[in-house]
Amino acid sequence: MKPTLPNGPTAARRPDHASRLRGFVLIAALWLLVLMGLLGTLCYWTTLGIWRMERRVEGQLEARLWAENGIEYASSLLSTIDLNATLGGPDGIPCPGTRRNPASFQDAVQLAPGDWEASCDDGFPVTEGGASAGKAIHGARGRMAAIRFSNNSEEDPRRDQDRVVLVRSLGVAPRLTAAPETPEVRNSAFLIEARLRQERALEPSGAINILADEASLSWSGRAFSVDGADHAAIAAATWTGDSLPADLADSVAVSQIGSFQADQGLPLFMDFRLDLLSSPDRQRILSPGFWSHFRLRLPDFDRGLQGGLAFLSEPGDFSASFQGFLAVAGELRLKGDALVRGLLVHLGPGRVEMTDRARVEGAIWLTNAEEPQPGLHAEPVSFAMGDQAAVRFDAAAVREALSQLPATRLGWRILFPEMSDGGL
């Protein structure tokens, strides 16, 4: 047995081994802490990234909803705006180039909705009264939809003739989370384009407008009045393109001529078929499908006698007051103190009769298209007027009646930055 000294190697080894063991545990613990810290950080950043992605999708959806709202707003506004004044802008000074977007995508993701102003005013709606109708609709917490009208590419950018326009709606919603890598991107933006048509095809050319190959007109006494103001008293066109029916002018006795007034440069009875053919918009009423589609869809749009657009589908008497666009099918007798201020469109069949003190301030359309069927077959129009009944052309009433007709949506699409004319 080896003698061991109190301070020999064996005695000295034990304290070193213990201290090395303690040191190892410390390092292991530190490594464990670092590892857990890294795992925790990884978990945190992954969760944060997923959360940000989800919030951005939410922002995009919000922006899309606002863009769609903008299209609805533009569609409802289109019936009342002056197209050419809108295309030229409120100041009447054309902007350089063709502007379709309310704002570029690059501007849209950075703008502050409350402070936004367009760089050029072309395409922002102007009503027929000349007032600016507002470029945008604003919502809570910075949400916005901005709209801009432009002419379809088939026409001059600042002169519309066919009543077809494009409208672009830019929906903007603030980002719900900031992205540190792109601090200047504050908003989500979404752009939708729609092709709309303002409905003015039924713009009258006279106080009474007849679209038929044959007409049976009856005038009683001399107290009635047909005043075309600055238009013709009676404007007529045939489906077939033949000349105006002779029975139209022959129906008026010489003694009754004084009951008719018209613009000095116009005949009392005018053939307006050429007027229709020269207008890309108005010539549509000469097509077979126009009236059958219109008649088929009228019940869906009837808002009642208080709503500005009404459809009376049953024959009967009318002695009330109405303002707006009134479409009628079947026999109609305007009697008593009946007043129609706006447009009265009779689709036939049957006779229209105005007696007593019935008045129409605006204009009347008379056409006898039958129930929808292949092709269009027109029965003779029948109209009678007597007593103190009066029809007086009123441009303001006509304009207001036509503004009750909803715009027709011809197309709709989503635009992405690379599709939207470089952002202009």
Partner 1 sequence: MNAQKGHSLVETLWALFLGTIVLGALLGAVRHAQIFSSDLDLLLERDGNLWLLPVLLSQWMTPAGNMRSEGQWEGLSISENTVSARSDIDGASGFPDGDTSDRYENIALKCSGGSLRMRSGGGGFQPVSPAVVSLRPSWSGRILRLEITTATARPLWRRSAPSLQTVEVLYALPNYRPTLFEGGSEQ
User: Residue 159, interface with partner 1 (CB under 8 A)?
Assistant: no
d(C-alpha 287, C-alpha 329), whole Å: 19
Question: Residues 37, 316, 412, 422: which binds partner 1 (CB under 8 A)?
Answer: 412
Q: Does 341 bind partner 1 (CB under 8 A)?
A: no
Site for partner 1 in 59-78 (CB under 8 A): 68, 71-72
Using CB under 8 A, which of 52, 251, 283, 301 touches partner 1? 301
The residue among 84 and 420 lying less far from partner 1, judged by its C-beta, is 420
Residue 39: burial class (beta carbons within 10 Å; 0-12, 13-18, 19+): exposed
User: CB-based burial of residue 381 (10 Å sphere; 0-12 exposed, 13-18 middle, 19+ buried)?
Assistant: buried
**Which of 32, 34, 57, 396 is in the footprint of partner 1 by CB under 8 A?**
57
Q: Of 45-53, 192-200, 211-219, 360-368, which segment contacts partner 1 by CB under 8 A?
A: 192-200
> Is there binding between residue 303 and partner 1 (CB under 8 A)?
no
Distance in angstroms (rounded) separating the CA atoms of residues 267 and 270 = 6
**Cα-based distances in Å from 333 to 107, 208, 314, 355, 359:** 59, 16, 12, 8, 12
Q: Round to the nearest angstrom and report the end-to-end CA distance of the chain.
A: 101
Span of 37-45, 102-110, 342-350, 411-419 interacting with partner 1 by CB under 8 A: 411-419
Tokens representing 271 are 């053939």
By the rule CB under 8 A, 276 interacts with partner 1: no
d(CA 122, CA 110): 22
Where in 381-410 is the site for partner 1 (CB under 8 A)?
405-406, 408-410
Q: Tokens at residue 125, please? A: 């709606």
CA-based nearest residue to 228, from 390, 384, 386: 390
If one counts every other C-beta atom within 10 angstroms of the C-beta of residue 31, the result is 10
Q: Per rule CB under 8 A, is residue 419 in the interface with partner 1?
A: yes
Task: List the one residue from 13, 159, 222, 413 that touches partner 1 (CB under 8 A).
Answer: 413
E strands along 109-214, which residues? 136-138, 144-151, 164-174, 187-197, 206-211
Which segment (17-25, 32-40, 230-238, 285-293) binds partner 1 by CB under 8 A? Answer: 285-293
Q: Measured from the CB of residue 14, what is the shortest distance to partner 1 in angstroms?
A: 14
Distance between CA 249 and CA 255 in Å, rounded? 13
Question: Quick check: 289 binds partner 1 (CB under 8 A)?
Answer: yes
Of 186 and 346, the one with the shorter C-beta distance to partner 1 is 346
Near partner 1 by CB under 8 A, which window of 2-10, 117-125, 191-199, 363-371? 191-199
- The residue from 197, 273, 359, 399 that contacts partner 1 (CB under 8 A) is 197
d(CA 79, CA 76): 6
User: In terms of CB distance, is 219 or 311 closer to partner 1?
Assistant: 311
Task: Identify the three-state secondary structure at position 330.
Answer: coil
Alpha carbons 119 and 144: distance in angstroms, whole number:
17
- List residues near partner 1 by CB under 8 A: 57, 68, 71-72, 193, 195, 197, 199, 201, 284, 289-290, 293-294, 297-298, 300-301, 405-406, 408-414, 419
